């Protein structure tokens, strides 16, 4: 029974990429260190470095004409560099939602019937092409999000590509462990029943991916490639202030599809403006069945309320740290300070609340008082923020003005150990910058500690003892959710209690990070990003449920005898 639109060239492409995908799947299953693309810029050619910067500069103040989709008009984006404070001046083809959905429906009729191995081959090929654009996407990310250059390169380049490969690996696992055909036989005395059974994976329908302004590629790639892998066409609706980075990905996918005889509109870039958003109109269409979203909890709750939708949401949580006991306080303080300062705290995994026992913290050499621990954390923040080379490389710039105002509002109503301050970027003197605020609560019940203050901040919270701190973490996770949580302890019994309690709250937990790995970092093939089990989000990058909810198995039975 031949149901699929197969193509010899795509089949050959699968042979080229199959072993690499199997290797990625093995890495995902073993959870050890592995990467598909190296994260060090030096691993790539000098020609690629120069070309990426040149392509970025050439794209400014002109239409993004690399897409293979027609628009009714050209829309000049709301993209403004947080470093120069100047508009990028890039325009994109504007497609109205009705037309986009019609094109996606037409593409669905073909894409769903392409054999999944050929789909994977095309998608792996597109990621390979994307790897040649890592340096352009780094500059595009830097000047739309405010990420420092190295983070922009890694997060939107190799790390995002790894997450895409990871999604394909998990999809391959889920689609390949059921055979496409089985012959079922059973004896009934003198007769025998023979039935050919065919198992056909079918996508739920059209996918909508709503992007975020801070990580426009990293947060979109897993869901984008998961949906494409199972045969769903995708509408990519980026944040209006961060279009360029993901537009590059869409253009490469469209080019790949077209080159192998498929409609480029299997994936479409759907742009809008801050003044005239269209995400709701797209999301509410009955043709859209799958929605991926990263952003604020209010809009996330709206998406979850829509009937008939399958949602994969990363919203927001209040991430916590508890210091019970330590080997060496300075190393702990440096790790927490780096995590809180990285990209000026504009990460969904950045720590916010630090719970410290009033009775102090046991260290290897002595008992540290609450004030000594608070002072060590404040000093570590100050040392990093005042360092002329480290600050710009780690803090970057604020993506938008609202983040600055949010931290100002927080500082106005709380006790402050360190004021948030601007720093002067050595290359971009007009950059919108802010070093972390170190605030202090009187108790863990204070209202402002129960809310995420997205941006450069750290809130120190005294608790009666470590047990109260653990209870506070648990209650906060259940009420608000967490995407990261860290505990410092040298007590194995306390560690076990923490594991049991916070696992019940579906909180990803890190113990005693104090070296070159930081609590807010999440790596493909080994770490699950989020659990999907607390209010911070309902999905995880990348577990099996991130794939299997997007499609269904359809069974065809063909009776031969009996």
> Looking at the domain assignment, is residue 65 inside a domain?
yes
pLDDT at residue 318, as a whole number = 97
Number of domains in the chain: 2
Check whether residue 230 and residue 353 sit in a common domain.
Answer: no
> Looking at the domain assignment, is residue 1 inside a domain?
no
pLDDT at residue 560, as a whole number = 86
Check whether residue 298 and residue 338 sit in a common domain.
Answer: no
pLDDT at residue 561, as a whole number = 78
Residue 3 has pLDDT above 90, yes or no: no
pLDDT at residue 507, as a whole number = 95
> Looking at the domain assignment, is residue 107 inside a domain?
yes
For the CA atoms of 287, 290, 293, 299, the dihedral, rounded to the nearest 10 degrees, stands at 60
> Looking at the domain assignment, is residue 518 inside a domain?
no
Rounded to an integer, what distance in angstroms lies between the CA atom of residue 490 and that of residue 478?
26
> Looking at the domain assignment, is residue 367 inside a domain?
yes
Task: Give residues with Cβ within 8 angstroms of 309, minimum separation 6.
Answer: 283, 288, 289, 290, 291, 303
* Rounded average pLDDT over 144-149: 98
Check whether residue 310 and residue 367 sit in a common domain.
Answer: no
Check whether residue 311 and residue 337 sit in a common domain.
Answer: no
> Looking at the domain assignment, is residue 102 inside a domain?
yes
Check whether residue 265 and residue 365 sit in a common domain.
Answer: no
Sheet holding 234-237, edge to edge: 267-269, 234-237, 206-210, 288-294, 310-314
pLDDT at residue 7, as a whole number = 84
Residue 426 structural domain: 320-511
- pLDDT, tens digit (0-9, with 9 covering 90-100), for 331-381: 999 999 999 999 999 999 999 999 999 999 999 878 999 999 999 999 999
Q: Read off the tokens for 273.
A: 């403006």
Check whether residue 211 and residue 150 sit in a common domain.
Answer: yes
Rounded to 5 degrees, what are φ and ψ at 23? -65, -40
Confidence of residue 178 (pLDDT cuts 50, 70, 90): very high
> Looking at the domain assignment, is residue 361 inside a domain?
yes
Residue 116 has pLDDT above 60, yes or no: yes
CATH code at position 185: 3.40.605.10
End-to-end CA distance of the chain: 20
Q: What angle, rounded to 10 degrees, do the helices at 116-131 and 158-176 form?
A: 170
> Looking at the domain assignment, is residue 20 inside a domain?
yes
pTM score, whole prediction: 0.95
Check whether residue 461 and residue 482 sit in a common domain.
Answer: yes
Radius of gyration of the CA atoms of the chain, in A: 25
Domain boundary pick from 511, 530, 549: 511
pLDDT at residue 516, as a whole number = 87
pLDDT at residue 5, as a whole number = 73
Check whether residue 227 and residue 262 sit in a common domain.
Answer: yes
CA angle (71 as vertex; 82, 58 as ends), nearest 5: 40
Rounded to an integer, what distance in angstroms lies between the CA atom of residue 158 and that of residue 40?
9
- pLDDT, tens digit (0-9, with 9 covering 90-100), for 415-468: 999 999 999 999 999 999 999 999 999 999 999 999 999 999 999 999 999 999
Confidence of residue 259 (pLDDT cuts 50, 70, 90): very high
Check whether residue 158 and residue 264 sit in a common domain.
Answer: yes
Check whether residue 182 and residue 275 sit in a common domain.
Answer: yes
Q: How distant, in Å, are the alpha carbons of 109, 207, 397, 434, 493 from that of 391?
A: 51, 39, 10, 10, 38
pLDDT at residue 94, as a whole number = 97
Check whether residue 502 and residue 375 sit in a common domain.
Answer: yes
**219 neighbors 211 (Cβ within 8 angstroms):** yes
The per-residue pLDDT of the chain, averaged, comes to 96
Percent with pLDDT over 70 in the chain:
99
Check whether residue 482 and residue 432 sit in a common domain.
Answer: yes
Rounded to an integer, what distance in angstroms lies between the CA atom of residue 319 and that of residue 353?
6
């Amino acid at each position: 029974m031949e149901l699929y639109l197969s193509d010899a060239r795509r089949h050959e492409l699968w042979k080229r990429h199959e072993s690499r995908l199997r290797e990625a799947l093995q890495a995902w299953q073993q959870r050890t260190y592995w990467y598909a693309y190296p994260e060090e810029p030096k691993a790539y050619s000098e020609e690629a470095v120069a070309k990426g910067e040149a392509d970025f500069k050439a794209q400014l103040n002109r239409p993004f004409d690399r897409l293979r989709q027609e628009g009714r008009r050209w829309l000049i984006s709301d993209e403004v560099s947080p470093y120069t404070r100047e508009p990028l001046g890039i325009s994109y083809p504007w497609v109205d939602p009705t037309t986009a959905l019609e094109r996606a429906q037409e593409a669905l009729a073909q894409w769903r019937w392409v054999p999944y191995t050929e789909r994977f081959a095309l998608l792996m090929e597109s990621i390979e092409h994307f790897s040649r654009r890592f340096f352009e996407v780094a500059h595009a990310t830097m000047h739309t999000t405010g990420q420092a250059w190295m983070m922009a390169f890694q997060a939107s380049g190799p790390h995002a590509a790894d997450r895409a490969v990871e999604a394909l690996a998990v999809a391959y696992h889920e689609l390949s462990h059921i055979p496409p055909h089985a012959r079922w036989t059973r004896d009934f005395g003198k007769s025998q029943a023979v039935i050919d059974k065919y198992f056909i994976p079918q996508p739920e329908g059209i996918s909508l991916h709503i992007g975020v302004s801070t990580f426009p590629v990293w947060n979109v790639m897993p869901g984008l490639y998961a949906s494409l892998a199972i045969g769903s066409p995708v509408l990519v609706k980026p944040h209006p202030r961060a279009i360029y980075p993901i537009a590059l990905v869409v253009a490469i996918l469209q080019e790949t599809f077209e080159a192998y005889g498929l409609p480029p509109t299997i994936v479409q870039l759907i742009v809008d403006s801050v003044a005239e958003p269209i995400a709701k109109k797209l999301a509410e269409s009955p043709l859209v069945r799958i929605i991926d979203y990263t952003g604020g909890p209010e809009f996330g709750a709206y998406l979850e309320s829509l009937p008939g939708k399958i949602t994969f949401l990363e919203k927001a949580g209040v991430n916590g740290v508890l210091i019970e006991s330590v080997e060496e306080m300075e190393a702990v303080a440096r790790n927490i300070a780096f995590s809180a300062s990285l990209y000026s705290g504009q990460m969904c995994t950045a720590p916010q609340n630090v719970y410290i026992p009033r009775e102090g913290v046991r260290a290897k050499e002595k008992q540290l008082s609450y004030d000594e621990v608070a002072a060590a954390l404040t000093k570590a923040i100050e040392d990093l923020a005042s360092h002329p080379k480290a600050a710009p490389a780690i803090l970057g710039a604020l993506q938008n003005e609202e983040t600055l105002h949010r931290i100002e509002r927080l500082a106005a109503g709380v006790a402050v150990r360190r004021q948030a301050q601007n720093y002067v970027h050595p290359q971009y003197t007009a950059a919108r910058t802010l070093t972390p605020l170190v605030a202090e609560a009187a108790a863990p019940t204070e209202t402002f500690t129960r809310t995420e203050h997205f941006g450069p901040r750290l809130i120190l919270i005294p608790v009666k003892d470590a047990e109260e701190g653990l209870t506070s973490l648990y209650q906060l996770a259940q009420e608000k959710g967490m995407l990261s949580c860290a505990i410092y302890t040298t007590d194995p019994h306390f560690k076990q209690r923490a594991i049991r309690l916070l696992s019940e709250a579906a909180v990803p937990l890190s113990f005693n990070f104090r070296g070159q790995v930081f609590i807010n970092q999440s790596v493909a093939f080994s770490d699950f990003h989020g659990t999907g089990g607390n209010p911070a989000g309902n999905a995880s990058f990348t577990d099996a449920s991130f794939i299997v909810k997007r499609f269904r198995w359809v069974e065809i039975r063909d009776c031969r005898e009996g």
